[in-house]
């Protein structure tokens, strides 16, 4: 049954600096889930240079995948488009295809498509508890996006604290560096049962001490030995006595493909990840030179992340915003010691990006607030009182009542 006509159109301005793509991903995910008609103008409007302006291939894949699942009316969905509209007709519980395949014709990020579709699929449960299979082709290791390794080792284990279950398998890698290749990841999502909600996680209240660091290397074979040696040296300087484990060592099969991920495990079970898909010229650089440069950067980045004293790393924090907002109950997932130590009880204004964290994090909070207006954020986003979302008609209509016609300029982000 099409209920979208009962809801007012939400209009967002996509001029959000580095958060431009974030607006598209988060807004379309929630528009599909809630059935809220959506329009985004000035898509990635503050971008300049080769990364500038309009929808990218991965954004188009996100929109089309959710449009197919919801039988949505869509206009302006093409690469380079500066404005588009999305109006879902079907709710998650009305999904027909439980074996979804997304085929990209470029190395567009698989993980961005997955991030956009997961909130919708989580609420597509049926009475028999059938899982949903999702296979996405595209880039698994691409610039300005999560890698499969980060998703597998940091994001999905963290989402398990919300009760989210996703099986994943890397079938083959896809790269934006070197000769472009299309990869594939297969997911099996276990949706919530009809009428069920996500629960706010019992997140640790202190970051704890680093007990172990896992390392993933996807680099040319002739760089592996030098990089392993350099990483061990740098880590011993910064994290002396901490257990080190190389859990992934793969041949990237191209001199321009150098990917490294460090994941620190702490005493209360938190994970902090920092990675680098090398984005500089490799010509005339020896394996030793490349290894020193890479190891110094990723180790220093991890050290900075740990020293912030928060409960989540910078990249994970913005990924959790949607799930905090959808969950039932209060969550506190502070990104820094300052935010963690604060105790103010002031409700946040949500008419622009706000709160603790990176620009992607503050933008995600703002977008979520426009599509889930009953969510309450307190003390710069330190606390989130979630909506307790359930995909049933009463909740859809109740939530929609709080949505007003909006035209918001986020260019100040």
Range of the domain at 402: 4-202+312-408
Nearest 10 degrees: CA dihedral of 310, 312, 317, 320?
-130
* 206-251 pLDDT, tens digit each: 999 999 999 999 999 999 999 999 999 999 999 999 999 999 999 9
- The pLDDT, as a whole number, for residue 343 is 86
Average confidence (pLDDT) over 290-295: 98
- The pLDDT, as a whole number, for residue 392 is 59
Buried b (16+ CB within 10 A) or exposed e, 166-205: beeebeebbbbbeeebbbbbebebbbbebeebbebbebbe
Distance, in Å, from the CA atom of 71 to the CA atom of 338, rounded to the nearest integer, reads 45
Q: Are residues 271 and 386 in the same domain?
A: no
Residue 401 reports pLDDT greater than 50: no
Q: Are residues 162 and 92 in the same domain?
A: yes
Residue 178 reports pLDDT greater than 90: no
- The pLDDT, as a whole number, for residue 145 is 86
Distance, in Å, from the CA atom of 287 to the CA atom of 82, rounded to the nearest integer, reads 42
Q: Which residues contact 152 (CB under 8 A, 6 or more apart)?
A: 168, 170
Q: Are residues 33 and 125 in the same domain?
A: yes
- 3 state DSSP class of 219: strand
Q: What confidence tier does 407 reach under pLDDT thresholds 50, 70, 90? A: very low
- The encoded tokens of residue 139 equal 């880039």
Q: Are residues 71 and 172 in the same domain?
A: yes
Q: Are residues 8 and 155 in the same domain?
A: yes
Other CB atoms within a 10 A radius of the CB of residue 149 amount to 24
* 27-56 pLDDT, tens digit each: 999 999 999 999 999 887 766 655 567 888
Q: Return the CATH number at 247.
A: 3.30.360.20
Q: How many domains does the chain have?
A: 2
Q: Are residues 349 and 336 in the same domain?
A: yes
Instruction: Look at the block and give the residue holding tokens 């959506």.
Output: 38
Distance, in Å, from the CA atom of 185 to the CA atom of 153, rounded to the nearest integer, reads 15
- The pLDDT, as a whole number, for residue 147 is 95
First-to-final CA distance of the chain: 38
Nearest to 280 by CA among 298, 292, 270, 294: 294
Say what the pTM is. 0.91
Distance, in Å, from the CA atom of 106 to the CA atom of 204, rounded to the nearest integer, reads 40
Q: Are residues 193 and 214 in the same domain?
A: no
Give a yes or no: residue 25 inside a domain: yes
Percent of the chain with pLDDT over 90: 72
Q: Are residues 39 and 129 in the same domain?
A: yes
Q: Are residues 14 and 136 in the same domain?
A: yes
- The pLDDT, as a whole number, for residue 5 is 52
Nearest to 322 by CA among 266, 270, 261, 369: 369
Other CB atoms within a 10 A radius of the CB of residue 343 amount to 6
Nearest to 218 by CA among 256, 270, 171, 263: 256
* 66-124 pLDDT, tens digit each: 999 999 999 999 998 999 999 999 999 998 889 999 986 676 789 999 999 999 999 99
Q: Are residues 165 and 263 in the same domain?
A: no
Q: Are residues 188 and 77 in the same domain?
A: yes
Q: What is the mean pLDDT of the chain?
A: 89
- The pLDDT, as a whole number, for residue 27 is 94
Kind and range of the H or E element at 326? helix 314-326
- The pLDDT, as a whole number, for residue 176 is 87
- The pLDDT, as a whole number, for residue 6 is 62
Give a yes or no: residue 243 inside a domain: yes
Within its chain, how far is the Cα of 192 from the centroid? 20
């Amino acid at each position: 049954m099409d209920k979208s006509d009962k809801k007012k159109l939400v209009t967002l301005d996509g001029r959000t600096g580095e958060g431009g793509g974030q607006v598209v991903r988060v807004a379309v995910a929630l528009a599909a889930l809630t059935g809220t008609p959506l329009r985004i103008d000035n898509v990635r409007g503050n971008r300049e240079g080769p990364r500038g302006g309009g929808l990218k291939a991965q954004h188009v894949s996100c929109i089309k995948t959710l449009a197919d699942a919801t039988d949505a009316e869509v206009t302006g969905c093409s690469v380079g488009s500066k404005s588009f509209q999305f109006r879902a007709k079907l709710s998650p519980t009305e999904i027909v295809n439980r074996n979804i395949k997304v085929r990209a014709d470029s190395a567009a990020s698989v993980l961005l498509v997955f991030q956009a579709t997961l909130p919708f699929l989580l609420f597509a449960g049926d009475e028999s508890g059938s899982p949903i299979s999702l296979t996405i082709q595209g880039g698994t290791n691409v610039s300005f996006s999560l890698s499969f390794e980060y998703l597998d080792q940091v994001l999905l284990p963290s989402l398990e604290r919300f009760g989210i279950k996703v099986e994943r398998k890397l079938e083959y890698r896809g790269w934006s560096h070197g000769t472009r290749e299309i990869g594939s990841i297969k997911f099996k999502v276990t949706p919530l049962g009809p009428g069920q909600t996500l629960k706010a996680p019992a997140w640790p209240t202190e970051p704890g001490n680093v007990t172990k660091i896992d390392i993933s290397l996807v680099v040319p074979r002739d760089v592996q030995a030098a990089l392993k040696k350099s990483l061990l040296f740098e880590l011993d300087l910064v994290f002396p006595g901490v257990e080190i484990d190389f859990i992934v060592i793969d041949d990237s099969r191209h001199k321009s493909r150098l990917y490294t991920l460090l994941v620190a495990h702490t005493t209360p079970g938190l994970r902090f990840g920092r990675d680098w898909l090398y984005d500089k010229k490799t010509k005339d650089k020896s394996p030793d030179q490349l290894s020193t440069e890479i190891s110094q950067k990723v180790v220093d980045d991890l050290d900075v992340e740990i020293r912030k004293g928060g409960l989540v790393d910078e990249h994970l924090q913005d990924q959790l915003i949607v799930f905090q907002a959808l969950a039932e109950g209060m969550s506190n997932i502070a990104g820094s010691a300052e935010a963690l130590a604060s105790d103010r009880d002031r409700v946040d204004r949500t008419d622009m990006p706000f709160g603790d964290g990176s620009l992607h994090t503050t933008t995600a909070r703002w977008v979520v607030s426009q599509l889930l207006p009953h969510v309450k954020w307190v003390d710069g986003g330190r606390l989130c009182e979630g909506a307790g979302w359930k995909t049933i008609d009463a909740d859809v209509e109740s939530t929609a009542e709080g949505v007003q016609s909006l035209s918001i300029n986020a260019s100040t982000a």
